Structure 1
Amino acid sequence: MVRTVAEMLGQAHASVGVESPASAADALADGSAVLVDVRQSDEFAACRIAGSIQVARGLLEFAADPASGHHRTELQPEARIIVVSTSGARGALAAATLQSMGFVDVAVLEGGLTAWMAEGRPVATPEHSAA
């Protein structure tokens, strides 16, 4: 039987943590978490949370695997990882993937970048380093 995206999202949300924009901002500010933005490069370039790193969802497994030639050193299995996407859907799936790879402290940004911006939190854009 084919699993639906809704089922996959439900399972992902049930297994990973959820961080509010406020708690994610605090974790970013105090250095206790790495914010991983899984949107595409063009989305990230247009608008992002300053201090986040970009790893496209399609390359996440390679970036997270220390044995891969594409490993990102910021992605350590024991690190606190908060995954960011536009609305949280891609983020939830990506967080579940990291968890399945052995990352122990993974969460998704609740509501994604959309919720972050709705709260008036700063973003970096091409025109401004921080807005």
Structure 2
Amino acid sequence: MDFAAADWVESKGDELHRVDVREDWEYDGIGHLPEAVNVPFDSYRADAHAADGGEGEAGMLPGAERFAEVMGAAGISRDDGLVAYDDTHGVFAARLLVTCELYGHDPDHLHLLDGDYSSWVRDYPTSQETVDPDPATYEARFDPDGPLVQADVVEAALDDPDAVVVDTREGWEYDEAHLPGAVRLDWQELVDGDTRGLRPTSELRDLLEERGIDPEGRVVLYCNTARRISHTYVALRQLGYADLAFYEGSLTEWEEEGRPLESNERAE
């Protein structure tokens, strides 16, 4: 799983499925990458299907059956290569890729556009032609031995000197309440405002070193509902972090279970 440069994506042509995770009105009305299919963000989140009575394996996961339907309808099988994008620096698209991995998709086949739609249109063609893909079979199977961890594992990591728990939310959210001892790393700090993609590798490594996020150690990520950690997860994978844990329940579940929190006092 990695960030893919726009020129590489363009060179691959139809070897890669292009997946636009924006809302359908954006896909249809604003335009999209040529041959991209539309898989809106809400279609692979559990809360969008509450009326169906289905529940995912954890947090906001949609459940293997529902995810298989969504991806199959988009013409994608689990063996296919795909690149996902949005128009928000990749944070929504990253969530799709992490969900794919959790349901058994080979991470080596998963790519996040380095940038977003607004960066793509500066140099590459777009289309407003709706793509109607041929249905495929997507065999989604949740991998319990994957990167997703439960709250007890996170709590143990807070006391582990060889692990760091990382809060990827904004500063004001962290100040209001965060897991005790968690390090703050707003996911947006990894984004270059000009390119709309990842900051240069040297800058990222300096930032992570400053925060004590060691590539040789264990890193546990959380936010509120596991959307923002998806972008950070892909970024750290890109940088070679091998021991990454993904707390799907995040702060929402942590609070519901009455686990300890701490806050920072603000100066008046």
Q: TM-score range by the shorter chain?
A: 0.7 to 0.9
Partner in structure 2 of residue 101 of structure 1: 239
Instruction: State the distance in 2 between where 1:115 and 1:105 align.
Output: 23
Q: Does 1:39 align with 2:177?
A: no
Counterparts in 2 of 1:37 and 1:64: CA distance versus 1, 3 Å? farther
Matched residue SS, 1:124: coil
Instruction: State the distance in 2 between where 1:38 and 1:64 align.
Output: 17
Aligned AA (1:57): W
Instruction: State the distance in 1 between where 2:158 and 2:228 align.
Output: 20
Greater shift in the superposed pair: 79-88 or 12-21: 12-21
1:32 to partner: Cα distance:
3.5
Aligned-pair RMSD on alpha carbons?
A: 2.5
Aligned to 1:50, which of 175, 180, 199? Answer: 180
Partner in structure 2 of residue 83 of structure 1: 221
The number of residues matched between the two structures is: 126
Q: Does 1:114 align with 2:244?
A: no
Contact 2:187 2:228 in 1 (8 A): yes
Greater shift in the superposed pair: 72-81 or 7-16: 7-16
Q: Report the TM-score when normalising by structure 1.
A: 0.81
Matched residue SS, 1:83: strand
Contact 2:171 2:184 in 1 (8 A): yes
Q: Does 1:4 align with 2:142?
A: no
Aligned AA (2:204): D
Partner in structure 1 of residue 204 of structure 2: 65
Unaligned runs of 5+ in 2: 1-17, 23-40, 42-92, 102-106, 108-145, 191-197
Contact 1:36 1:55 in 2 (8 A): yes
Aligned AA (2:223): S
Structure having greater relative contact order (Cα 8 Å, sep ≥ 6): 1
1:89 to partner: Cα distance:
1.2
Q: Report the TM-score when normalising by structure 2.
A: 0.42
Computing the radius of gyration from Cα coordinates, the structure with the larger value is: 2
Matched residue SS, 2:181: coil
Greater shift in the superposed pair: 11-20 or 91-100: 11-20
Deviations 1:28-51 (A, max 9, x none): 123332011010000000111110
Matched residue SS, 1:93: helix
Unaligned runs of 5+ in 1: none
1:2 to partner: Cα distance:
5.1
Contact 2:158 2:180 in 1 (8 A): no
Contact 1:46 1:125 in 2 (8 A): yes
Residue identity over aligned pairs, in percent, reads 24
Instruction: State the distance in 1 between where 2:203 and 2:182 align.
Output: 15
1:91 to partner: Cα distance:
1.1
1:92 to partner: Cα distance:
2.1
Instruction: State the distance in 1 between where 2:241 and 2:208 align.
Output: 17
